[in-house]
Amino acid sequence: MSRKPIIAGNWKMHLLKSEAKELFEGIKNYVKDYTAKELPTVVIAPVFTSLAAVETVACDCGCGGNKINIAGQNCHWESSGAYTGEVSVEMLKDAGCSYVIIGHSERRQYFSETDEMINKKAKAILAGGLIPIICCGETLEQREAGVTDSWIAGQIKAALEGISSADVAKSVIAYEPIWAIGTGKTCDSDEANRVIAMIRSVVKEVAGAEAADAIRILYGGSVKPSTIEEQMSKSDIDGALIGGASLKADSFNEIIDKTMKLTLAAK
Ligand code: 13P
């Protein structure tokens, strides 16, 4: 089956409202020349305080698709309550989000997010009709110790625990080796593809062949305009979750452009 590629920008804790608006306008200006069918699924994840500065851009060709989709960078699994500093799925939906990034290594590392919390968040996101982008990845120490595959398989099994195959099929996974995030050290694309194929086999084991075939699995970690073509040419890499290079319209648009042209050429 052919899976529609996803190019997602994780803006992390960057950009004030006016800067977010400017970046959004720069991306909007690029996508206006294409239909949602031609474009990869484009997702941007601003900080919560900038969600009002961006918006979903619907396609004007009548296809019902979106040219730009919005994601939250985190959420709580409860719908409301006394959880100071947290935001619920319904609140993100209300702010225009259709995706939510969960389990990013920065949240696991600095905010003690556990596999169990990530599983609860994934379930809440899917129950609310949004799509989770579930992050996983190993440290350099784990890679050097040869435990990459077992570590990631464990993260994925825990994140997907108790989720129906139909919901797994809709979900997105991002493989982000921690040592490649923000370091300029991209994971070799054959190796990234190997790990992503391994993740797909884990999805097959827990949710069946159909879900494994449908789920989109992204690579993240120092993705740049100069790396995207090789990454996207690999069989199991369905797109990218981009940090640094998503903060400038030029580089993010170039990544979208190269992905789109490769996809169109493959048809
Ligand atoms: P960089 O693209 O800056 O390495 O960040 C990757 C990432 O963490 C995206 O979620």
Closest approach atom of ligand 1 to CA 242? 2
Question: Hey, which of 104, 172, 181 would you mutate to test ligand 1's pocket, going by the most ligand atoms within 8 Å of its Cβ?
Answer: 181
Q: Please report, rounded to a whole number, the percentage of residues in the chain having pLDDT higher than 90.
A: 97
Q: Please report, rounded to a whole number, the percentage of residues in the chain having pLDDT higher than 70.
A: 99
Question: Hey, which of 105, 241, 248 would you mutate to test ligand 1's pocket, going by the most ligand atoms within 8 Å of its Cβ?
Answer: 241
Read off the pLDDT band of 117 (50, 70, 90). Answer: very high
168-211: pLDDT as tens digits:
999 999 999 999 999 999 999 999 999 999 999 999 999 999 99
- CA proximity to 45, closest of 16, 10, 74: 10
pLDDT higher than threshold 90 for residue 265: no
Q: What is the pLDDT of residue 264?
A: 83
pLDDT higher than threshold 70 for residue 267: no
> Which candidate in 106, 113, 138, 176 is catalytic?
176
Read off the pLDDT band of 125 (50, 70, 90). Answer: very high
Q: Is 208 exposed, middle or buried (0-12, 13-18, 19+ CB in 10 A)?
A: middle
Q: What is the pLDDT of residue 266?
A: 81
Q: What is the pLDDT of residue 38?
A: 96
* 70, 177, 192, 258 from 239: Cα distances, Å: 16, 15, 12, 11
- Å from CA of 81 to ligand 1 middle: 31
Average pLDDT over residues 81-93: 98
14 an active-site residue?
Answer: no
Closest approach atom of ligand 1 to CA 183? 4
The DSSP output letter for 76 is B
> Which candidate in 14, 38, 104, 191 is catalytic?
104
Read off the pLDDT band of 1 (50, 70, 90). Answer: low
Q: Domain residue spans in the chain? A: 6-266
pLDDT higher than threshold 90 for residue 46: yes
Provide the CATH number for the domain formed by 6-266 in this structure: 3.20.20.70
Q: Is 85 exposed, middle or buried (0-12, 13-18, 19+ CB in 10 A)?
A: exposed
Residues 168 and 160: their CA atoms lie apart, in Å, by 7
Q: What is the DSSP string of 196-244?
A: HHHHHHHHHHHH-HHHHHH-EEEEESS--HHHHHHHHTSTT--EEEESG
Which residue's alpha carbon is at the smallest distance from atom 2 of ligand 1? 243
Q: Which two tokens stand for residue 40?
A: 């990869």
Average pLDDT over residues 78-97: 98
Average pLDDT over residues 30-52: 97
- Å from CA of 206 to ligand 1 middle: 28
What mean pLDDT value characterizes the chain?
97
The answer for residues whose C-beta is within 8 angstroms of residue 10's C-beta and 6 or more apart is 45, 73, 101, 104, 220, 241, 242, 243, 246
Q: Which two tokens stand for residue 153?
A: 């398989």
pTM, two decimals, is: 0.98
